[in-house]
């Protein structure tokens, strides 16, 4: 199911297996409300006592596998414990990583699975040419990283980075002080010597952020770190260490394409206009007015469903419910200074470009700004009557 920033389920997005759960049943399951209690919600790293937040590209196969297995069990009348099923599916997904199967499949067809190689090389080269110091911290093993980077950047890819760390074990890399760095040779064998400096062109395994900060002296907002997982990559760095962070959200490219279509803009504009009309006209209680209001409510709901389906027929946009930001969006803006579809988006800007924060109106600053914009009425009613209020 899809949850908004305020812990409310977006009705029409709850599924059991591959089948939608009726809105009435969802409300009944949560005690007559769409609200998910805080104690059931995800903890800091996206996993609560009874709910897990799916929020990265690895979630897609896990969600699909869970849905299909549940659908199979339900369709064949098989009894099962949800906790056992969740654990088995999660273990299967984990084993694909731990046993290196995913890396093997990708290495067999680099052209298919590794995208935007030329653009990535262009970004890295440009940053280095302007005197920036680059570092790579990844959970992947060196053999996989080396093959992938050779495919994208070339055999001398390590010369672009001042520090390269593999099998870092994020997010514990950012919080656990106990794991030391170890040096790897060209064959991937571990060295025994103590690490007193991080050298360019060398490969290091595991380690921890505290030693990284001590050895590099790269601290605070002078560092901009990019990652594609809000919790494993960005949360600790922003909250504990004050780094600037950039989130890579591949779905953003398609979502932006959709919101720039004429159909989306027309649908959204008319929704906002209807919302403004409903607010203004609800004071009329005569039968004819009530009939018109009921028709507007129905039309508004139909438009909301149409708009949702433009993004995804089951869940809609990953960034919004019907009107609120999603829970994912809330975490995204909390843990990232910038977010973009790909690192290659940086090619659209100069290296010394400054991104300034946008001032968006709070509810009390411009209570009718969107409705006024959509209905063509830019004058706030009762403003003169409110002038005496301090």
Classify the phi-psi angles of 10: left when phi > 0, otherwise alpha if psi is within -120 to 50, otherwise beta: beta
d(C-alpha 62, C-alpha 88), whole Å: 11
d(C-alpha 106, C-alpha 100), whole Å: 10
CA distances from 32 to 25, 26, 323 (A): 9, 8, 21
For residue 137, list its beta bridge partners: 165
Among candidate residues 156, 58, 147, the one with its CA nearest the CA of residue 110 = 147
Q: What is the DSSP letter of 230?
A: I
- Which residues are annotated as part of the binding site for Mg(2+)? 228
d(C-alpha 234, C-alpha 236), whole Å: 6
Tokens at residue 171, please?
């997010």
Among candidate residues 247, 273, 269, 248, the one with its CA nearest the CA of residue 259 = 269
- Which residues are annotated as part of the binding site? 228
């Amino acid at each position: 199911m899809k949850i908004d920033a305020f812990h409310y389920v977006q009705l029409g997005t709850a599924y059991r297996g591959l089948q939608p759960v009726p809105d009435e049943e969802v409300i009944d399951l949560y005690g007559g409300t769409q609200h998910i209690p805080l104690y059931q919600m995800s903890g800091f790293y996206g996993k609560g006592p009874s709910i897990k937040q799916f929020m990265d590209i690895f979630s897609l196969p896990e969600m699909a596998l869970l849905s299909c297995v549940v659908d199979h069990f339900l369709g064949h009348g098989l009894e099962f414990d949800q906790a056992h099923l969740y654990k088995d599916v999660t273990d299967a997904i984990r084993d694909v990583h731990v046993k290196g199967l995913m890396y093997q499949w990708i290495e067999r067809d680099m052209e298919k699975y590794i995208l935007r190689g030329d653009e990535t090389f262009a970004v890295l080269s440009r940053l280095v040419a302007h005197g920036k110091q680059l570092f790579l911290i990844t959970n992947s093993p060196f053999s996989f990283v080396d093959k992938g980077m050779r495919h994208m950047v070339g055999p001398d890819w390590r010369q672009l980075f001042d520090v390269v760390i593999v099998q870092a074990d994020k997010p514990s890399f950012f919080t656990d002080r106990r794991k030391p760095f170890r040096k790897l040779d060209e064959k991937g064998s571990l060295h025994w010597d103590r690490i007193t400096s991080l050298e360019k062109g060398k490969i290091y395994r595991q380690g921890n952020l505290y030693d990284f900060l001590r050895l590099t002296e790269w601290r605070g907002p002078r560092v901009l770190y990019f990652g594609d997982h809000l919790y494993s990559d960005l949360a600790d760095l922003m909250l504990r260490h004050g780094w600037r962070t950039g989130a890579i959200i591949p779905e953003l490219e398609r979502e932006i394409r959709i919101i720039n279509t004429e159909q989306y803009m027309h649908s959204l504009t008319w929704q906002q206009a209807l919302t403004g009309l409903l607010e203004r006209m609800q004071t009329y209680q005569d039968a004819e007015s009530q009939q018109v209001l009921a028709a507007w409510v129905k039309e508004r709901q139909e438009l909301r469903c149409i708009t949702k389906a433009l993004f995804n027929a089951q869940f809609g946009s990953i960034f919004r419910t019907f009107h609120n930001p999603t829970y994912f969006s809330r975490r995204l803006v909390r843990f990232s200074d910038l977010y973009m579809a790909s690192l290659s988006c940086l090619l659209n800007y100069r290296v010394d470009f400054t991104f300034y924060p946008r001032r968006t109106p709070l509810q009390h600053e411009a209570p009718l700004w969107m409705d006024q914009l959509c209905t063509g009425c830019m004058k706030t009613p009762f403003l003169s009557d409110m002038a005496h209020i301090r």
